[in-house]
Amino acid sequence: MLKIDAHQHFWKYDAVRDSWIDESMYTIRRDFMPRDVSPLLTKYQVAGCVAIQADQSETETDFLLSLAADNDFIKGVVGWVDLRSPNITERLEHYSTFEKIKGFRHILQGEPDRALMLNPAFMKGITALKNYDFTYDILIIPDQLGFTNQFIKTFPSQRFVIDHIAKPDIKHKNMDKWGNAIKAVAKHENVSCKISGMITEADWKDWTMADIEPYLDIVFEAFGSKRVMFGSDWPVCNLAGGYDQMMLVVKNYASKLSANEQARFWGLNATEFYKLN
């Protein structure tokens, strides 16, 4: 069965640039490069991954593209570009010459303007993505799901994917408001969802499968078997047990699915969504 990890990060740690990695995250305050994850992919027979931006700069996009050029298992890159730039078409034209760049992402979850995705300049940038067949990863937290629903309605033919099931507050078992909002987003058939990031939204030191399963039930039911994909969120997952623990969660849950559903979840959906080679 083809396995693709649809969500991994790489970085050479920089204390200023990576200030989001606070004291509580000291275990990931170091470099994480392809050689560090390669043994884990081999262990779990994962054929490849998609590298996702962690810094909002074109320097980051170029860094990930250089890693992808040197490492065959990095099948795609989701980079960053300034979607609000007057020169957005020129920048997308530039990146369209790189085979492995598949789409872009902005760290909406950290923006003071919770509705930034509805900013006219931002939306103009999203409109431009379609001309180059680029995807867009939506990184938000639950308070932004309502704005995201409005945003998605405007672009019915754009391929979107929600990162980390929109980061529900699993630690405090806050489910209802998030659940209703994610179901509304899932009604748009051009939107997929990454089964990633759950263990870091739970209690890092004391989570159980029982804490996470109800959230997965909602997502799988809402999106269906053709619009969900596996992502480890490595190395951020190291905060709550690491790749092994993330795999334990998803393997346990996926075992309930049919053979066809498992094939779609583990690799086919990500391959089709990102158009991986």
78 strand-pairing partners? 52, 103
Q: Taking the CB of residue 82, how many other CB atoms lie within 10 A of it?
A: 17
**CA pair distance 228, 261, nearest whole angstrom:** 10
pTM for the model stands at 0.98
The pLDDT of 108-117, averaged and rounded, is: 98
Position 137 confidence tier, pLDDT thresholds 50, 70, 90: very high
Topology classification of domain 4-274? TIM Barrel (3.20.20)
Return the pLDDT at 49. Answer: 98
Using H for helix, E for strand and C for coil, what is the string for the chain? CCCEEEEECCECCCCCCCCCCCHHHHHHCCCECHHHHHHHHHHCCCCEEEEECCCCCHHHHHHHHHHHHHCCCEEEEEECCCCCCCCHHHHHHHHCCCCCEEEEEECHHHCCCCCHHHCHHHHHHHHHHHHHCCEEEECCCHHHHHHHHHHHHCCCCCCEEEHHHHCCECCCCECHHHHHHHHHHHCCCCEEEEECCHHHHCCCCCCCHHHHHHHHHHHHHHHCCCCEEECCCECHHHHHCCHHHHHHHHHHHHCCCCHHHHHHHHHHHHHHHHCCC
The pLDDT of 144-156, averaged and rounded, is: 98
Percent of the chain at pLDDT > 70 equals: 100
Return the pLDDT at 33. Answer: 98
Position 255 confidence tier, pLDDT thresholds 50, 70, 90: very high
Position 214 confidence tier, pLDDT thresholds 50, 70, 90: very high
Return the pLDDT at 15. Answer: 95
